């Protein structure tokens, strides 16, 4: 707990296990190309390259990505034409690099001397096996495993968002705006972070981000595909997104607040789950309105809680708010798979920084919630309980419950936060 150096054999064992795990997951994904999300990326890219409908129903996965993603998908499709296995390998390597990049940025934003983090231990500097880094990573390792297993894009988006805020803190507004705009353009959900910048009156960051959003999402598609085609793509994407909100039968894999409300309050909400426990028979539209109301109340509560915090992003409270926001935005995402919750890594960094040295024997109840969150997020995995029990637990929204606990702990730590610069 005090960052005493691990015995060399223990450090080497941890590195061996983690590198072996990453390698095996990458190889496994390359051996089941028909069951990974990457195939959907390539199919979307092929549709774009062949001038077909990228939102058509001939794809393996329903395309819910915003129109700018066509450029990313097109590049991946071109790479896959040369070698599909090679394209997967490159994508997975980028994903693993983004995991390490996210860890480095979390250490920099939440730990004293975090900017000295190195992968291998040397010269007494922070490393992957330092407790302040290793423990939060261990708490979220199952989520990162889900990400690599399914070749997702969420860690890359998380890395871009963290990088943007690190640049904002250092006054590099243009570069920060570029990376945040790229994150929003690839996956629309981080637009909530732009609203946070508006609330904090960080106008240079807002202006640069919005300017790059216009370039990436309006000017570039209009120049490449034509204004009419680009507008049609946006309309199709909005329609598909709206249809996802009204989907009456989410699967257990969807661990969002909206999916949980549908299971609880509609008859069809758990139709594809092994467990059915509806308490009411509401129409889906009414549940969506309830969800939107709860999301607005939560946003208002956060705005009220953060009203007296300094607007300067260099203040430690701003990074604590970022940790809360990164977790909360997945909870309110209507389509939140397990791998989407990798954003909880920032909250775990923040909470562990505050909990270190406070053992349960000293009566700190936060440790109870800490371990309950770990039980929900990790001990519910199929490797521990089997696929059938895992499906049952996910029907009971176990991942969502664990995420709510972590975000709640982060919000508590946010109210008392002491940043690296104050230690």
Whether the pLDDT of residue 380 is over 90: the answer is yes
C-alpha–C-alpha distance, residues 363 and 342, integer Å = 29
The confidence score (pLDDT) of residue 155 equals 97
Whether the pLDDT of residue 421 is over 50: the answer is no
The confidence score (pLDDT) of residue 420 equals 44
pLDDT, averaged across the chain: 91
The confidence score (pLDDT) of residue 58 equals 61
Sign of CA dihedral 361, 364, 370, 372: positive
Cβ 243 vs Cβ 57: under 8 Å: no
Structure-token pair, residue 210:
């919005």
What mean pLDDT comes out for the span 75-91? 95
- The string of pLDDT tens digits covering residues 130-159 is 999 999 999 999 999 999 999 999 999 999
Whether the pLDDT of residue 384 is over 90: the answer is yes
pLDDT band at 416 (very low <50, low <70, confident <90, very high): low
What mean pLDDT comes out for the span 334-351? 95
pTM above 0.85, yes or no: yes
Q: With pLDDT > 70 as the criterion, what percentage of the chain qualifies?
A: 94
- Closest CA relative to residue 65, chosen from 92, 37, 90: 37
The 3-class SS string of 31-83 reads CCHHHCHHHHHHHHHHHHHCCCCCCCCCCCCCCCCCCCHHHHHHHHHHHHHHC
Listed by start position, the domains of the chain span 252-423
Cβ 29 vs Cβ 148: under 8 Å: yes
Regarding predicted confidence, which is higher, 308 or 181? 181
What mean pLDDT comes out for the span 306-326? 91
- The string of pLDDT tens digits covering residues 19-42 is 999 999 999 999 888 888 999 999
- Strands (E) across 84-194 are located at none
pLDDT band at 57 (very low <50, low <70, confident <90, very high): low
The confidence score (pLDDT) of residue 283 equals 95
Whether the pLDDT of residue 220 is over 70: the answer is yes
- The string of pLDDT tens digits covering residues 226-254 is 999 999 999 989 888 888 888 899 988 99
The confidence score (pLDDT) of residue 156 equals 97
C-alpha–C-alpha distance, residues 241 and 365, integer Å = 40
The confidence score (pLDDT) of residue 171 equals 95
User: Which phi-psi region, left, alpha or beta, contains residue 363 (left: φ > 0; alpha: ψ -120 to 50)?
Assistant: left
C-alpha–C-alpha distance, residues 117 and 137, integer Å = 14
C-alpha–C-alpha distance, residues 218 and 238, integer Å = 15
């Amino acid at each position: 707990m005090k960052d005493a150096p691990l015995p060399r054999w223990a450090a080497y064992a941890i590195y061996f296990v983690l590198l072996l795990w990453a390698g095996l997951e990458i190889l496994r994904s390359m051996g089941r190309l028909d069951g990974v999300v990457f195939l959907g990326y390539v199919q979307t890219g092929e549709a774009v390259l062949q001038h077909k409908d990228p939102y058509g129903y001939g794809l393996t996965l329903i395309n819910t990505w915003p129109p700018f993603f066509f450029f990313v998908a097109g590049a991946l499709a071109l790479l896959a034409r040369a070698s599909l296995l090679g394209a997967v390998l490159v994508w997975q390597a980028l994903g693993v690099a983004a995991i390490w990049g996210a860890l480095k940025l979390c250490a920099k934003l939440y730990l004293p001397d975090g900017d000295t983090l190195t992968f291998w231990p040397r010269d007494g500097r922070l490393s992957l096996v330092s407790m302040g880094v290793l423990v939060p990573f261990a708490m979220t390792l199952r989520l990162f495993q889900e990400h690599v297993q399914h070749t997702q894009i969420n860690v890359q988006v998380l890395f871009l968002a963290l990088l943007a805020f690190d640049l904002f803190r250092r006054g590099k507004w243009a570069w920060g705006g570029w990376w945040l705009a790229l994150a929003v353009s690839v996956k629309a959900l981080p637009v909530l972070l732009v609203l946070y910048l508006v609330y904090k009156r960080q106008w240079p960051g807002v202006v640069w981000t919005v300017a790059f959003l216009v370039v990436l999402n309006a000017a570039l598609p209009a120049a490449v595909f034509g204004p009419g085609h680009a507008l049609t793509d946006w309309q199709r994407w909005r329609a598909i997104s709206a249809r996802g909100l009204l989907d009456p039968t989410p699967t257990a894999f969807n661990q969002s607040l909206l999916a949980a409300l549908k299971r609880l309050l509609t008859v069809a909400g758990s139709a594809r789950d092994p467990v059915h426990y509806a308490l009411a028979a509401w129409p889906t539209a009414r549940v969506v309105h309830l969800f939107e109301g709860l999301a607005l109340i939560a946003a208002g509560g956060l705005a009220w809680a953060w009203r007296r915090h300094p607007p300067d992003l260099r203040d430690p409270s701003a990074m604590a708010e970022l940790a809360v926001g990164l977790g909360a935005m997945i909870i309110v995402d209507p389509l939140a798979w397990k791998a989407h919750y990798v954003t909880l890594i920032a909250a775990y960094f923040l909470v562990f920084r505050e909990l270190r040295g406070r053992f349960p024997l000293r009566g700190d109840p936060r440790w109870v919630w800490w371990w309950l969150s770990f039980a929900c997020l990790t001990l519910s995995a199929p490797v521990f309980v089997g696929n059938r029990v895992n499906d049952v637990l996910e029907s009971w929204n176990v991942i969502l419950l664990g995420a709510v606990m972590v975000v709640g702990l982060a919000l508590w730590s946010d109210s008392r936060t002491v940043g690296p610069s104050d230690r």
